[in-house]
Structure 1
Amino acid sequence: MTPDPALLCIGEALIDVVLREGREPVEHVGGSLLNVAAGTAALGVDTLLASWWGRDARGDRLAQAARAAGVRVVAGSDGAERTPVAQARVDAGGHARYTFDLSWDVPALPAASGIGHVHTGSLAATVEPGGRRVAAEVARLRAGATVSYDPNARPAIMGSPIAVRARIEDLIALSDVVKASDEDIAWLYPGADPAAVLAAWARRGPALVVMTRGADGALARLAHDDTALQVAAPAVEVADTVGAGDSFMAGLLAGLWDLGLLGGPEARARLRHARWEDVAVPLRQAALTSALTVRRAGAHAPRPAEVRELDAAARPAAREEPASDAGSAPERLQP
Structure 2
Amino acid sequence: MLTVIGEALIDEVLSDTAPRRSHPGGSPLNVAVGMARLGRPVQFVGRFGQDAYGALIAEHLKANSVLNALPADNLPTSVATATLDPAGGARYTFDLEWTLPGLAEALPRLLEGTTLLHTGSIATMLSPGSHEVLAAVERAHTQATITYDPNCRPTIITDVSYAREQAEKFVRLADVVKASDEDLAWLYPDEPVETAARRWLGMGPAIVVVTRGSQGPWAVAASGTSQIPAVTVTVADTVGAGDSFMAALLAGLMDRGFDGAARRTELQKIGVGDLEAILAYAARAAAITVSRPGADPPYRSELL
**TM-score clears 0.5:** yes
| Separation (CA, whole Å) in 2 of partners of 1:219 and 1:113 | 33
Is 1:102 the counterpart of 2:109 in the alignment? no
Counterpart in the other structure of 2:299: 303
Counterpart in the other structure of 1:172: 171
| Separation (CA, whole Å) in 2 of partners of 1:218 and 1:30 | 23
Paired residue secondary structure (1:157)? coil
| Separation (CA, whole Å) in 1 of partners of 2:231 and 2:17 | 30
Which has the larger displacement, 52-61 or 13-22?
Answer: 13-22
Residue 22 of structure 1 and its aligned partner are, at CA, apart by 5.0
CA contact (8 A) 1:113 1:144 kept: no
Counterpart in the other structure of 1:275: 271
CA contact (8 A) 1:138 1:174 kept: yes
Percent of aligned pairs with the same residue? 44
Deviation string, structure 1 residues 17-65 (Cα, Å, up to 9, x no partner): 0111254321121110110000011111110100111011110110110
| Separation (CA, whole Å) in 2 of partners of 1:49 and 1:99 | 23
| Separation (CA, whole Å) in 1 of partners of 2:230 and 2:245 | 11
Residue 80 of structure 1 and its aligned partner are, at CA, apart by 4.8
CA contact (8 A) 1:52 1:80 kept: no
Counterpart in the other structure of 2:210: 211
User: Looking at CA atoms only, which structure, 1 or 2, has the larger radius of gyration?
Assistant: 1
Counterpart in the other structure of 2:239: 242
Q: Which residue of 48, 66, 73 maps to 1:71?
A: 66
Aligned residues: 299
CA contact (8 A) 2:148 2:176 kept: yes
Is 1:156 the counterpart of 2:151 in the alignment? no
Structure 1 residue ranges (4+ consecutive) displaced by more than 4 angstroms after TM superposition: none
CA contact (8 A) 2:181 2:212 kept: yes
| Separation (CA, whole Å) in 2 of partners of 1:184 and 1:201 | 13
Counterpart in the other structure of 2:76: 82
Which has the larger displacement, 179-188 or 19-28?
Answer: 19-28
| Separation (CA, whole Å) in 1 of partners of 2:116 and 2:85 | 36
Counterpart in the other structure of 1:130: 129
Which has the larger displacement, 160-169 or 136-145?
Answer: 160-169
Residue 155 of structure 1 and its aligned partner are, at CA, apart by 0.8
Structure 1 residues 282 and 114 mapped into 2: Cα distance closer, same or farther (>3 Å)? same
Counterpart in the other structure of 1:285: 281
Residue 102 of structure 1 and its aligned partner are, at CA, apart by 0.9
Q: Which residue of 245, 254, 259 maps to 1:257?
A: 254
Runs (5+) with no aligned partner, structure 1: 1-5, 309-335
| Separation (CA, whole Å) in 1 of partners of 2:288 and 2:110 | 35
Residue 267 of structure 1 and its aligned partner are, at CA, apart by 2.0
Counterpart in the other structure of 1:21: 16
| Separation (CA, whole Å) in 1 of partners of 2:277 and 2:17 | 41
CA contact (8 A) 1:238 1:296 kept: yes
Counterpart in the other structure of 2:262: 266
Which has the larger displacement, 194-203 or 14-23?
Answer: 14-23
Counterpart in the other structure of 1:318: none
Paired residue secondary structure (2:115)? strand
Residue 111 of structure 1 and its aligned partner are, at CA, apart by 4.2
Which amino acid counterpart does residue 93 of structure 1 have in structure 2? A
Structure 1 residues 273 and 63 mapped into 2: Cα distance closer, same or farther (>3 Å)? same
Paired residue secondary structure (1:156)? coil
Structure 1 residues 214 and 170 mapped into 2: Cα distance closer, same or farther (>3 Å)? same
Counterpart in the other structure of 2:116: 117
Residue 265 of structure 1 and its aligned partner are, at CA, apart by 1.7
TM-score scaled to structure 1, two decimals? 0.87
Paired residue secondary structure (1:296)? coil
Residue 70 of structure 1 and its aligned partner are, at CA, apart by 1.1
